[in-house]
Amino acid sequence: MTPPPTLAILAIGDELTSGERVDTNSAWIASKAAAMGVRTVEHRTVGDDQPRIARAMRDLAAQSTLLITTGGLGPTLDDLTRPALAEVLGSPLVEDPEALAALRKWYTGRSTPMPEANRVQALRPESARRLENPHGTAPGLAATLGQARIFCLPGPPREMCPMFDRFVTPALQAAPQMRVHVRIVPTFGLGESTVADLLGDLMNRERNPVVGTTASGGIVTCRIRYTGPAADADRLLEESIADIRGRLGPAVLSGHDPRDDGLALVRSVSDLLRQRGQTVATVESCTGGLLGEMITRLPGSSDVFAGGLLTYTDALKARLAGVDPSLIEQHGAVSREVALAMAAGGLERTGADHALAITGIAGPGGGSEAKPVGTVWIARACTKSEPEARRFRFQGGRDWVRQWSAMNALGMLRLSLLEAHCSLLGES
């Protein structure tokens, strides 16, 4: 049995090591490979330095069956991928006549003479193969070093991506028994360690499929990974998803969207509203518009988002949302009563089916002993059912209090649409 293919990715460029630019190529390549069942074992980034590039190539080719490099194929003195590859292959650089002809043609098509500097882009290690680049002057290179196949692609994504699809994809087919299949299950409402407790043995590293978790922006994502033939994958992964659903209940967000983009909760709420032909309005104080902004990050949100009121000051809580000023005087702006009045005002003023209202103390100022920074009241109202309000105590600074407030408002709406309950939300 051949070993499963493994991929290593090497990004090359001083602008990457220095942090001036974030490398997005490596993640793109890795997710493409993952979709084909090939596991990426390492990403590495080195600067424009030939010995370092050569050392990284040798090292990565020794521990994976595929190595993809990006960058360092331009025409200037600091583009060193070609000589570094020649060095590790022990193969001299020669001028490729086809590459030179393609370069000249590129410039002829643009009615410009070819700058002499670009001639180096026609060089390739004698034992390497040239990969055509229809979108730029830098051809790619393919070679074999020991057990590993190496593909060197240019750095700009609009050149790299089509070359990857054309030349690298065919090399990424794993032996069927060893293919890796991944599913994503986003959750909201339980902390990461609670999720891990509930998942229990599913997270055992020896298990296949094995489940891992990551937390980001309030979403805890379960990642199920199965290594084996495609024929069994769907069934086993679906079994695991069903098992996770059973253990985590309504915390599991619908969709299993493969994009881990932090919008799983918004997407879930929007889908539920769209299925019901209903709309939501927002009435925001301490979040200042974040909740509306989150909902409208998704294209087509006008189906489900009516609009809202930003009632940042007490005066505007009264003026825009019709909150009785005596309620604010009696209970304070951050209170169950005011949150409920804001939500009721939102329903009435916008004509939406649901309204979410947030009033809280984001900090750093404005806290008191009874209502410390992070105290937030969130209310939900609906034209067809009883309103509810919950109090939360968030930690972690202004940005985080605001983020959690918006997320939990969506969480409350989601649970009410599902007619589910989740004990881990704030006190009601």
Q: Using CB under 8 A, which residues numbered 303 to 332 contact its own copies?
A: 305-313, 315-316, 319-320
Binding status of residue 260 toward its own copies by CB under 8 A: yes
Residue closer to its own copies, measured from CB, 56 or 172: 56
| Contacts (CB under 8 A) with its own copies, residues 398-427 | 398-400, 402
Q: Nearer Cβ to its own copies, position 212 or 229?
A: 212
- The distance of closest approach from Cβ of residue 128 to its own copies in the complex, given in angstroms and rounded to an integer, is 22
Q: Residue 428 CA to chain centroid, in angstroms?
A: 32
* CB within 8 Å of 423: residues ≥ 6 apart: none
Min dist. Cβ of residue 345 to its own copies (A): 12
- Region 89-148 residues binding its own copies, contact defined as CB under 8 A: 109-111, 115-118, 135-137
Q: Are 312 and 288 in contact (CB under 8 A)?
A: yes
Report the DSSP beta bridge partners of residue 379: 357, 389
Contact status: 75 vs its own copies (CB under 8 A): yes
As a whole number of Å, the CA-based R_g of the chain is 28
User: Near its own copies by CB under 8 A, which window of 72-80, 267-275, 381-389, 415-423?
Assistant: 72-80
Among the listed residues 164, 145, 165, 166, the one whose alpha carbon sits nearest the alpha carbon of residue 154 = 164
Which range in 171-179, 235-243, 247-255, 296-304 contacts its own copies by CB under 8 A? 296-304
Q: How far is the CB of 416 from its own copies (least distance, A)?
A: 21
Using CB under 8 A, pick the residue from 5, 74, 186, 332 that binds its own copies: 74
18 binds its own copies (CB under 8 A): yes
Residue 127 beta carbon to its own copies: minimum distance, rounded to whole angstroms: 26
> Residue 282 CB, nearest distance to its own copies (Å)?
7
- Does position 292 interact with its own copies (CB under 8 A)? The reply is yes
User: Which is closer to its own copies, CB of 28 or CB of 127?
Assistant: 28
Q: What are phi and psi of 284, to 5 degrees?
A: -115, 135
CA–CA dist 207, 166 (Å, integer): 35
The reply to whether 265 sits near its own copies by the rule CB under 8 A is: no
Which residues have C-beta within 8 Å of that of residue 71, sequence separation ≥ 6?
11, 12, 13, 16, 25, 81, 154, 155
DSSP string, 98-126: HHHHHHHHHHHHTT-PPPGGGGGGGEEET
In the complex with its own copies, the residue whose CB is nearer, 177 or 313, is: 313
Sole binder of its own copies in the list 249, 255, 367, 397 (CB under 8 A): 397
Q: Does 350 bind its own copies (CB under 8 A)?
A: yes
Q: Please list every residue from 153 through 182 that binds its own copies, using CB under 8 A.
A: 156, 158, 182
The two beta strands, 280-284 and 210-216, are unpaired
Q: Are strands 385-393 and 375-382 parallel, antiparallel or unpaired?
A: antiparallel
Out of 191, 234, 239, 246, the only residue in the binding site for its own copies (CB under 8 A) is 191
Spatial CB neighbours of 240, under 8 Å, sequence gap ≥ 6: 183, 202, 209, 211, 224, 226
Binding to its own copies in span 25-44, by CB under 8 A? 26-34, 39-44
- H-helix or E-strand spanning residue 195: helix 192-199
Token pair of 399, please? 């940005």
DSSP character string of 197-264: HHHGGGG-TT-SSEEEEEEETTEEEEEEEEES-HHHHHHHHHHHHHHHHHHHGGGBPTT--S--SS-H
Say how many residues touch its own copies, by CB under 8 A: 116
User: Between residues 108 and 144, which has the closer beta carbon with respect to its own copies?
Assistant: 108
